[in-house]
Amino acid sequence: MIKSVLNEQDYYRKVFGGWLGKNIGGTLGGYDEGKTERLDLTFYPVIPDKPIANDDLDLQLVWLHALEQYGARITSKELGQEWVEHVFFPFDEYGYSLTNLRYGLQAPLSGSFNNPFTDCMGSPIRSEIWAMVAPGAPGVAAYYAYQDAIVDHAGGEGVYGEMFFAAIESAAFLESDKERLIQIGLSFIPAECRIANAVSDILHFKAIGKSWIEARELIVSKYGNYNFTDAPQNVAFTILGWIYGDSFEDCLLKTANCGYDTDCTAATLGAILGIIGGADSIPERWVKPIGHSVVVSPQIKGFSVPADLDELTTRTLQISKEVIAIWDIPVAIEGQHPTRIEKDNLLIPGEWSGDYNPRGLLEQSVSVNRYLLPEGAALNQGLEVCVDYGPEGPAVGLMERKKLIISLRNRSKELWEGKLALEAPAGWRTEEAPFYQLQPGEKLEWETDVATGGDRQPFYELTFRIDRWHDNSLWNSHNVRFILISSGYWKLWGPSSSQHTEAVVPGNRLSFSKLLGTEEPGMYIAKTTLINPRKRNVRLIVGTPFPVKVHLNGEIVLEDHELRDFVPGYHRSYMHRLFEIELAEGEHVLEIEAQKGNEPLELFVLPVAFTRTKTPGGNYYFTDILFGSGDEQRYTSSVYEK
């Protein structure tokens, strides 16, 4: 295959332009983020002297550090490690994913379990880094985007949004035609997903002569969601500005003026336009107010942040050389030759296979964790181990039987044989694991039950041991460590209940229709014991659209009689759906009343930190607080410390 050539200076200008456009769009939209009405911006609403700090860029600086740390074969496992070390954001899907990662879960479970925000914009906004290190290789960029997005969006539209944008931005190094770029992006995501449908609708509205304002209203009517970060509406707005606008400025303003997640939509479009046209194509009037500085949020910590866009671009280019070599991307970056584009080199999904087929990755279950052996392997050329937790995910109750399906597939060219074992916490019972013998390509599936004990912990560590034999003797052992999280215990009453129903609930969402089997309007009650292992300040979010009343140890601590939209974020819940308190060590009786109307009743109960904490990064989830144990009528100490 004849390689495309990107002159090194041209490549530099495109990468620099992408980062610069990202900063401009994020600053333009940052002041109006969350406004769902149509806006009337004509320039920055507040003239800045530097870019606004924005998670759109922040997280990509972490990923640049991760690429420098782990290399071009980086996966979701390493990206998850980076979250815990360097990202202290509590925002929506970030907060839920970070909670799961702190328990010890890995992607995709870190992104899918107990996460109501998998369809949101947290991952589509961080696609550029993958495109820039894989120029002209949309399949590689989409692969990286998948590995990134499943950490906090597994199973949701957020994954599709990041893959869509990463493919477009990678192809934009070799292609500038809007229509072809959009089709390349669509080729990497399911045709039936909401993002694909919304993008297709925008293209249709433009083709039949609808104005951008009419197109915006049609998107809102069909895809509009009261959560302003829902991805389909926002991805559509990014494309709207691109295809309706006739200049850098006009494109950005049309996108930002659609409202909703304005910093994200404008920042992504700014990056796309910056990559296509290079830094020189961006009008000076948009550049001058913000300059070339890099501004980082205080919750991003623990590594060397680029001082400015020049350093960011240089470090991006350094990593790209390794990525291009590892993936054998048919693009050469050369200092002595002019840019020469071979457009047929833009790989489409049909040309990919195996583990590195980005469309194939979307077919993998989000309730299964996969491990490659020997530990630390980046290539799937040894033993592949999968742990399937089942429909309830990685949650388990006391004195409960939990079914696990553990499979092994030999991806090597040698025989693997030996003995298996499952090691569980003290007091648990496990079944005898089988011997195994796997020829190259063969698979073994072991369906087993574990019986939990009576010792209540926030989470439990299990180890699946694979002893490998050589010449009928033990040669070495491989250990796969995985986590089960403690379920919550609740007593529930419906409107017609005289007796309570006891429920074991994985995660923080109480779905009353599922748990009680009724949709009857009226008063519902949920009761549990909140077990707090140490005295601390706690923000307790009690989230539902319906009127609620909350008792803690017999005293009313929250009462709200209004119907309200509710978004169960750790950091942005309505003040009338939470209370903050200094909570004593011990057990506290929590009782919640909810007046259900005709819609389904769901209730989120979230114990998180205060916003202001000792170091930046408040509103994080308390993973050591438990729900329910023993007699719910008893508590050991007053919730109020004098």
DSSP 3-state of 321: helix
Structure confidence by residue, pLDDT tens digits, 81-118: 999 999 999 999 999 999 999 999 999 999 999 999 99
Instruction: Give the number of other Cβ atoms within 10 Å of residue 448's Cβ.
Output: 17
Looking at CATH, the fold of the domain delimited by 488-627 is given as Jelly Rolls (2.60.120)
| Nearest Cα to Cα of residue 19 among 326, 317, 304 | 317
User: Which tokens is 37 given?
Assistant: 């009405």
E strands within 238-366?
331-334
State in words which class domain 4-359 has: mainly alpha
Pairing type for strands 331-334 and 4-7 reads parallel
**Three-class DSSP labels, 67-126:** HHHHCCCCCHHHHHHHHHHHECCCCHHHHHHHHHHHHCCCCCHHHHCCCCCCCECCCHHH
Largest Cα–Cα distance of the chain, in whole Å? 83
Q: Give the predicted TM-score (pTM) of the model.
A: 0.96
User: Mean pLDDT over residues 317-329, rounded?
Assistant: 95
Residue numbering of the annotated binding site for Mg(2+): 261, 263
Structure confidence by residue, pLDDT tens digits, 125-175: 999 999 999 999 999 999 999 999 999 999 999 999 999 999 999 999 999
Structure confidence by residue, pLDDT tens digits, 461-509: 999 999 999 999 999 999 999 999 999 999 999 998 889 999 999 999 9
Percent over 70 (pLDDT), the chain? 96
| CATH fourth-level superfamily of 367-486 | Immunoglobulins (2.60.40.10)
Q: Taking a C-beta distance cutoff of 8 angstroms, is the pair 608, 537 a contact?
A: no
Q: Taking a C-beta distance cutoff of 8 angstroms, is the pair 143, 356 a contact?
A: yes
Residue 640, pLDDT > 70, answer no
Q: In which residue are the tokens 């803690």 written?
A: 552
Residue 634, pLDDT > 70, answer no
Residue ranges per structural domain of the chain = 4-359, 367-486, 488-627
Residue numbering of the annotated binding site: 261, 263
| Nearest Cα to Cα of residue 146 among 386, 327, 354, 364 | 364
> Phi/psi class of residue 418: alpha, beta or left (left: φ > 0; alpha: ψ in -120 to 50)?
left
Distance CA 230, CA 253 (A): 20
Distance CA 35, CA 634 (A): 46
| Nearest Cα to Cα of residue 144 among 288, 322, 400 | 322
| Nearest Cα to Cα of residue 322 among 69, 72, 6 | 72
Q: Please report the sign of the dihedral spanned by the C-alpha atoms of residue 541, residue 485, residue 143, residue 184.
A: negative
- Cis-peptide, bond into residue 600, ω within 30° of zero: no
User: Which tokens is 69 given?
Assistant: 């740390």
User: Which tokens is 387 given?
Assistant: 């742990």
